[in-house]
Amino acid sequence: MRLHNFNAGPSILPLPVLEEAKANLVDHQGLGLSVLEMSHRSPPFEAIVDRAKGTLRRLLSLPDAYEILFLQGGASLQFAMVPLNLGAGGAYVNTGVWSQKAIKEAQITGCAPQVVWSDEAGGFRRVPAPGERLEVPAGAPYLHYTSNNTIFGTHFEHVPDADVPLVCDMSSDFLAAPHDPTRFSLVYAGAQKNAGPSGVTIVVGRRDVLRTFRGPATTPTMLRYQIHAEADSLYNTPSTFGIWVCALVFDWIEGLGGLEAMGRRNAEKARLLYDVIDRRSDLFRGHAERESRSLMNVTFTLPTPELEKRFLQDAERAGCIGLKGHRLVGGLRASIYNAMPRESVEVLADLMDRWQP
């Protein structure tokens, strides 16, 4: 029996994807070798990359002016690559840990980030509201924000207005619902939430942004978008197996009806949990303000640590794992990414609805 996997990442993968990967693991489509053994410069692997990019481009309705890169190093490496490639003085929205890490990394690179909004004093319970003014300095090379915050369970329902290029860390809500890619100069995401296995980083950016280097001359070759774009993501050996699994995930999403269908599916799953939290607010207390609630990471606490421990034990007996909240928030966190079946969310929601201290 498969467990109900609510881990924040690496997270659940679609069962059909795992089954297809298993069936082709030893002998990939009759070629006599595994993708794990395949040269990244061979025609069969080039076909995998083309397939992955083609399906992702269709899912995003991506214009020709945009390119897709498959890199490594996770969002954590992007925290440095963004300022090193786009220029010093970027503006940042601080909505929690991952925003703070991006700001710190920009400081380490000497790129002088400017924080233009923060909810640190409020405990990171909300994101800027639509229309809320962000004091972005004129001439800033970009505005950076994190669209979904896994630790605090907050989420941008809107795209911030800015007169400068937008950069977004979409690691935990990439492909979770439709978005207009033309609003952004660059988007990046670690694959291990919604798009594939750990070890692959997806970058989607305007061609002129990716292929025009604006950083210091001391920037290492491997940290330059231009190098990876010109080499079609094959400058060095990529995560070959990971990219193949991403291709399978993209196919799975497309087969379900694309991002419109995925967005509806994810909203329905989240509503099951938030309805219980709101109905039983004397017992389950959501961390995020209602207008900023995440559809990917539902964070909540119980009145005492002892009750939280007891609930976690009962949840594990019901087959629900990965629900322990991050140490900065405590409580519980249910990560319900794309591959999480509605049936698993129903098991957790039913347990919460009938649970008694």
Choice among 98, 117, 244, 252 that is catalytic: 98
Q: Is 163 helix (H, G, I), strand (E, B) or coil?
A: coil
Choice among 53, 193, 269, 324 that is catalytic: 193
Main-chain dihedrals φ then ψ at residue 245, nearest 5 degrees: -65, -40
Please provide the DSSP assignment of 125-136 as one string: ---PPTT----P
- Listed residue (243, 273, 248, 239) closest to 345, CA to CA: 273
Catalytic-residue membership of 309? no
* Residue 57 vs residues 18, 32, 67: alpha-carbon distances, Å: 23, 30, 9
Catalytic-residue membership of 193? yes
Q: Is 44 helix (H, G, I), strand (E, B) or coil?
A: helix
> Burial letters for 125-148: b for 16+ Cβ neighbours within 10 Å, e otherwise?
bbbbeeeeeeebeeebbbbbbbbb
Total length of the chain: 357
CB-based contact 98:240 (threshold 8 Å): no
Choice among 53, 119, 169, 269 that is catalytic: 169
Catalytic-residue membership of 117? no
Residues with a known catalytic role: 98, 169, 193
